[in-house]
Structure 1
Amino acid sequence: MTEQTLNRGVTTERGQEPAATAELTLELVVAQRQFPARGVLALTLRDPSGGELPAWEPGAHMDLLLREGLVRQYSLCSDPADRSSWRIAVLREEPGRGGSAHVHEQLTEGARVRVRGPRNNFALRPAPRYRFIAGGIGITPILPMVRAAEAAGADWSLLYGGRTRAAMAFTDQLARYGDRVRLVPQDEEGLLDLASYPGEPRPDTLVYCCGPGPLLDAVEQVCASWPPGSLNAERFQPRSPLHDSADHPFEVVLARTGRTLTVPTHVSVLDAVRAAGTEVLFSCTEGTCGTCETDVLEGTPDHRDSLLSEEERAAGESMMICVSRCRGSRLVLDL
């Protein structure tokens, strides 16, 4: 979720305060392993002492700190009202970068794992009407949203696609909602029919979508004419770079210490800041998770993330320092 240029009327609503330099880290135990679909492992995590876990809202995700240099983000897909455990679901990716394989192979029942968060860049906002769209493992953040929409008495529906029916997780849980949920296995019915769903633009409707990049690209095109803020999307992977500026060196001033750094052409702000000895939280290093979001006090960021809306980009009040740069010669950051 690197650079993203959203169409007019499409924003990503986020719920996390920027510029954090400390965040809750816990050690949890794997209490249960289940396989809700082919290739998908669901883990139930608990406090080893039986204590309550921190509260969270639909759309939240957390980091699994698997080993040094291996950090992965996964959406929470359990019931936020149940503070006794968290649940995540992990698709084993072949080939992948090692994170999903580590989870599937190493996180056996009874194993301890460090986690960080939760944080929410995909918050469910109140609305009388929702249209949810999920592709593959993108169903995970949508599950708690569906539960919340149902509890609130909202008018909602879900269009959920996957490569095969056997590969679509949590269909048993969704069955209780009847015809509010439409399952579309690609090998049986083809691609999702986005020409008719989510329908005509309505000011009372919010669209929430999570899934692979091509699906999100298609939904963004469909919702380009909708009112600003209607579409809320979360990406698991960064978009192809769409920025129109070349890299160049620039200065970064760390406002809390007054120190000035030079960021070379092929070095990220994050790496330059860390090399200077300043501790900054980070995770994905791809501009998708929001962990490194930092307040901008002066200067104009060159946004290359997959989180900020067009309105937030224009405001220039914060940036993801793992991928974004400077359009001018100098930035002053709240670090």
Structure 2
Amino acid sequence: MAAFNFTPSDPSTFILNGIPGLEAAHIWISIPFFTFYCISLLENFMVLFVVSKEQNLHKPMFLLLCMLALTDIGISTCVVPKALSIFWFSSKDITVDGCLTQMFFIYLVATMHSAVLVTMAFDRYVAICDPLRYTTILTNARITKLGLVVLIRAILFVLPVPLLLQRLPFCANRVIPHTYCEPIAVMKMSCGDTTVNRIYGLVATFVVIMLDLTFIGLSYGLILRAVLRISSIKAHQKALNTCTAHICVMLMFYTPILFSALTHRFGQDIASYVHILLANLYFLVPPMLNPLIYGVKTKELRDKVGKYTCRMRLPGATDFKPA
């Protein structure tokens, strides 16, 4: 393969370097990237398809699952196609506007994903602590309005990030040692003062993550208190079982974020390609596993997916009722 010139001739472009130190393995790395991405799209689109087709799944809980599926599709699609073009075709150039746009949508969808998890925690709180009023508190219309609030909040928090970066002058070396436009990596290329950018990024991340984790922790604290008041062990297990899937999804979402933040600040001895691989896995693994977790733990969804899967395998089948 011909050597690639890493100095962009066009001052309006950046160079995404992929995974520095592992350039020789890019083709091999692309295999799990492509496989995980395809599986993720298939699973999440299946969730959206099944919920849209089944009238009895038009409930708040499943509408929230659809929101989660949309954010999973969005967050992986913002990153993986460009990463694959780097691995397969050495298509490493990206315009400044394209870079800032990618950055905006990555963090927009990630912020929305976090807010959806908060809403799902509230859904579980109402279902367990106030089940008699569940259908009046959480209606489909209210969930739709909450979805709009989630979108507006994400725009307000994320929009300043690319706008603040856009005002900065960039140096001659415009190489980003990453597979996507990561704000800190972009800031390092600037010849200007990035103090405001760093402060806003830190504050916005802290406010969003800490605020969302606080609400989630409060919801589960109240759920745990309500469960402990139940005398029946079987009722304990049933109540906690409804929260298991959501807890697993939360751990997969927040753990990599917190780990990445800590390693960026305190893990200077860790090789850069380890940081980049972990950052990319965050966009690949949770979107692939989330539908599986909810499919296993939610019987209604599991049965309906099974019905459609059997219909696809048996073209002549007209009806199927899972056991």
TM-score scaled to structure 1, two decimals? Answer: 0.23
Larger Rg: 2
Greater RCO (Cα-Cα under 8 Å, separation 6 or more): 2
